[in-house]
Structure 1
Amino acid sequence: MEKKHLKLPILILIILAAAFSRLIPHIPNFSAFGAIALFGAAHLQKKWQVFLIPAMALWLSSLVIDNVYYAADYTGFVWFYEGFHWQLLSYFAIGALGLFLFKKEVSVMKTGIGALSAGLIFFIVTNFGVWMTSSLYEPTLSGLATCFTAAIPFYRATMLGDVLFTFVLFGGYYLAQQKFDFLKDNRSGTMQEVQSF
């Protein structure tokens, strides 16, 4: 196998490793998934990979967490936890933002914008989902505002997780690119433009 063909498997392993960092005890909402969605958009070459690979990483790590760590909380095998689709939708939105930001190049500024935006996207989408599906809040604009207000204390952990893991993933991969040429993108100084489906 030529070294250039190792790039995709390495990217998948990095994404899986970041996803399974959820198994390490952590504060609520502090996770790598916003960063994973951005990282995939920056370095995976096909659009279907940008959305499917992080989604599979989320699902696989959730299978382990729900059926091993929290097995006592459920009566049977859990394929999808409640609210999974809202989280997945938020990561798809973050991935789409990443495709827009990194269309021509990956820069520190664009990566920073993505990291800060990821937490906000997750906050809006998932809490909108809670409001839509939960009986805790009235189905009114006032109920939506109450839902968002109640979630504010968790936003800080989400943002910190996105920023920290973005720094680790992007910074670590950049250092690896300096050591291993086959990890570099085809165009000097910029990422390879994401190919179509």
Structure 2
Amino acid sequence: MQKINPKVYTLIALIVAVSLYRIFPHPHNITPVMALALFAGTYFDKKWMAFAVPLASMLLADLFLGFHNTIIFVYAAMAFAVLIGFWLHNRVSSLKVIGATISSSLVFFLISNFGVWLVSGYYSITWAGLIECYTMALPFLQRSMMGDLLFSGVLFLSYWQIHKYWLGKREAQRA
């Protein structure tokens, strides 16, 4: 059996810790969902793990919170954020993380609200109904983006600090 390296343990621990946030009371629309997916796509070397870990985390939380008819759209938006993370993989910088986070937030907004329009029955299935759905969802975008930026900051900065710590330990052992 292949041994899992400390990087993978660190990544999984950070993702689990942040995803527990979803099942506790928190401000509406301020969640780590998209930050988790972006982070996983950026740092997991195995692409299947980059998709599996945040989606499994989401599924576990949904077992407690309940399922809804737009869940496939939410999960698809998360998968898209993982793809943005793949792009970010060898380009990590503060500004690029912020840009990728905002892009992930906008993708989530577009895909999840398209799902609301398509399956909720709240809006007519017309161009006008789609525009109305996006318009009604605009107040939620700001809070979602704030949460995504907050949790991306927590995840990426924590990882950078932990990574720096382990590199320092390795160098001290070599000396």
Give your verdict on TM over 0.5: yes
**Aligned mate of 1:147, from 120, 126, 133:** 133
Q: Does structure 1 retain, via aligned residues, the 8 Å contact 2:32–2:148? A: yes
Q: Does 1:88 align with 2:75?
A: yes
In structure 2, C-alpha distance between the alignment counterparts of 1:31 and 1:83, rounded to whole Å: 17
Q: Does structure 1 retain, via aligned residues, the 8 Å contact 2:29–2:140? A: yes
Give the structure with the larger helix fraction. Answer: 2
Q: Which residue of 1 aligns with 2:159?
A: 173
CA RMSD of aligned residues (A): 2.1
In structure 2, C-alpha distance between the alignment counterparts of 1:92 and 1:121, rounded to whole Å: 10
The share of aligned pairs that are identical, in percent, is: 33
In structure 2, C-alpha distance between the alignment counterparts of 1:176 and 1:3, rounded to whole Å: 20
Q: Does structure 1 retain, via aligned residues, the 8 Å contact 2:42–2:87? A: no
Q: Does structure 2 retain, via aligned residues, the 8 Å contact 1:40–1:54? A: yes
Runs (4 or more) in structure 1 with deviation over 3 Å come to none
Q: Does structure 1 retain, via aligned residues, the 8 Å contact 2:35–2:148? A: yes
Deviates more, 1:83-92 or 1:174-183: 174-183
In structure 1, C-alpha distance between the alignment counterparts of 2:95 and 2:73, rounded to whole Å: 28
Quote how far apart the aligned CAs of 1:101 are: 2.5
Q: Does structure 2 retain, via aligned residues, the 8 Å contact 1:119–1:159? A: yes
**Aligned mate of 1:118, from 104, 112, 122:** 104
Q: C-alpha deviations, 1:77-133, integer Å up to 9, x for none?
A: xxx43321111000001111111132x231112111111111111100000001111
Kindly indicate whether structure 1 or structure 2 has the higher relative contact order, using CA contacts under 8 Å at least 6 residues apart: 1
Deviates more, 1:117-126 or 1:6-15: 6-15
Structure 1 unmatched ranges of 5 or more = 67-79, 185-197
Quote how far apart the aligned CAs of 1:180 are: 1.0
In structure 1, C-alpha distance between the alignment counterparts of 2:169 and 2:22, rounded to whole Å: 26
In structure 1, C-alpha distance between the alignment counterparts of 2:41 and 2:151, rounded to whole Å: 15
In structure 2, C-alpha distance between the alignment counterparts of 1:175 and 1:3, rounded to whole Å: 23
Q: Which residue of 2 aligns with 1:24?
A: 24
TM-score, normalised via structure 2 length: 0.89
In structure 1, C-alpha distance between the alignment counterparts of 2:99 and 2:46, rounded to whole Å: 22
**Aligned mate of 1:98, from 66, 71, 85:** 85
Amino acid at match of 1:18: V
Q: Does structure 2 retain, via aligned residues, the 8 Å contact 1:22–1:61? A: yes
Structure 2 unmatched ranges of 5 or more = 171-175
Equivalent runs, 1:46-65 vs 2, <5 Å: 46-65=46-65
Q: Which residue of 2 aligns with 1:33?
A: 33
Quote how far apart the aligned CAs of 1:27 are: 2.0
Secondary structure in 2 matching 1:136? coil
Q: Which residue of 1 aligns with 2:173?
A: none
Amino acid at match of 1:174: W
Amino acid at match of 2:53: I
Quote how far apart the aligned CAs of 1:167 are: 0.5
Equivalences, count: 169
